Chain A
Amino acid sequence: MSRPRRDPRAERDNRTVESRGRTRLDFGRRETLPVSGRMRRDPWREWAASLAGETDGERKRYDRSQRQMNRAEAVRFARARETLDATDISPGQPALRVIDEPAFLVFAVVETAGGRLSRFDRQVLGAARLLADAGDGGGAVVAVAPESVEGLGEAGADRLLHLPRAATQRGRTAALKAAVDRLAPRHVLLAEEGDGADCARRLSVALGEPLFANVEHLTARQAVRAIRNRGAEIGLAPPRLMTLGEDRAKPYEAVPCEAREIEGGPATAPADPAILSVEIVPGDPAKLSLSETDFVVSAGNGVSDFAAFRDLAAAMKGTPGASRVVCDAGLMPRTAQVGASGTVLAADCYLALGISGAPQHLQGIAGCEHVIAVNTDLHAAMIERAGLAIVQDAQLVMPALLKLLQERET
């Protein structure tokens, strides 16, 4: 027998700890990892993380944001029970993941609109990371982006390929095709949205390669997409050219990759002779519908000056919204109502002025990534949900915001 013989008495002694004047057995302590390799959950630490104030720590605050405790937070609450070593998430983990000699390449074409990685861009990079680590692994993710943006390495890109920002989609596709011909990636992933979807189809025609569009389910073994108007589906081993549906793949969250820049993109993209002029017309947030906009400024019962609120929404370049109470009172139109019986938002950011956060209202903003709450009640549900919570009267904050915005403008 190669396995060492267990000594139950020694194990028992090892687990005996002194606490409050008497000995007790600490079953939370483990010498080795469990056989499954997964770390134990620490309910004590999770409970400590849900406490409201850092100073008093008396009042339990239920976190309805469904946010997993991340590493930084886990460290912050490490003092909850110092003797327990269950949340050492990955000891000895390297700070940077480097793949020097990639066995193959996976292209992830990201839009980087506004010089930032969007949520969808991160999902495309996450899906590419999944394919690069498939099987024996050793693949490298090449982020194909028009510019270098922050956070590419954290999102899972090993390499960065610059593709010049072309004026036309035809030029962009020609540049991308040249890069694909030169570097011969195993997979090319694009986003099934706007220009990415258009570029994927042009690339498919240019390469003569079939396109597996709008992937709904992606693993290392198979990619699944709906056909026949979502009546049937087909699943294949991940093909070469794919577009990923929104919210279908998880973004990468492990050790940052290096995002080293590589050569290989053409310097300039050819122009399209049929396109005579291109002009971008920015959307007017005041005229957009609530379901289409990306930033909503919303008023609740804590707001009484609605003229100032409308001025504020216009100055902040946001779409005005309101809670049910305000719409019922006739202070804002019914089309502005946010929530289960109004509009369910797809916006990125939500500024709630004087809204306490009824469950029906929180359903309406479940999709918002960033929530800012201004409310007088510390224990309001909206304050718990918010990424930035300010306990202050919204009627006082609104003129201050307007004044600050006017100062910025001049």
Chain B
Amino acid sequence: MSDFLSYVLNGLAVGCGFALLASGLVTIHRVTGVVNFAQAMFAVVAGLTAGSALGAGLPHGAAELAGVAIAVIAGLLTGLAAVGRRGTTPQSALIVTLGVGILAYAVEIAIWGDQPRSFAGLPGSLEVGGVAIQWQYLLVIGVAAAVFAALALFFARTDRGKALTACASDPYGARLVGIDVLRMSLIAFALGGGLGGIAGVLVTPLQPISFDSDVALIVNGFAAAIMGGLNRPGPALAGGLLLGVAEALVAGYGNAAHQTEIALVLMLAIMIWRAVRTPVVQEETV
């Protein structure tokens, strides 16, 4: 039983990381219609930066903030490449973000090399009913909960958040009322970068990351985001947690080698199920 609980907690923590990544994908897609392939790169860059900052003597907190700040800048630059040029279709923008992801490989290897890196998170653990829960897990879960609450408030309660939604809902209408759609798109990319960065600095102490960790991360993030049709943060959170727990249980009771396949098969099943239900015509006009 205590094994089960610790697997679930482990899964929830990792799932929060997926959910944060997914929320970045959702934010960007909701505003710009672009699926950002470079989303997991933000997490990698933030994790590696935070590790270096700690190595250079920065205290915890400041180092993580530095990592997230770099991820925000990476998000902004990705946005400039993907949507900064007038007339780039979402399909082309997807390929551009793929290119940005590869470019990041070059930069990351030049700075950090190609070996996995990690850094220590919160030390110690909390004893609850005979189960030891690492503080880092609780930190990840707490931060993710706070970020999702803030995100929900931002979109539901602030005019700026609503203006971001308006850009996706009706870009022409948004321009008519004076919303600068390009600026909002860049804000969405910067926000997406920040969300990816938060995921990165939280998850790096749980599992070492290297430049090419982004493939597994993006697949899990996309699988979580697709649950809400890439537009709704709520289902993306649920999806991330579900994936995290399912993978932790498979790794705990079965074979760790199969854990990413869970996410992949689930993602394929959901996408195909959704595609079968949606007629082509509707998709093309959206």
Same complex origin of A and B: no
Residues of B bordering A, CB below 8 Å:
none
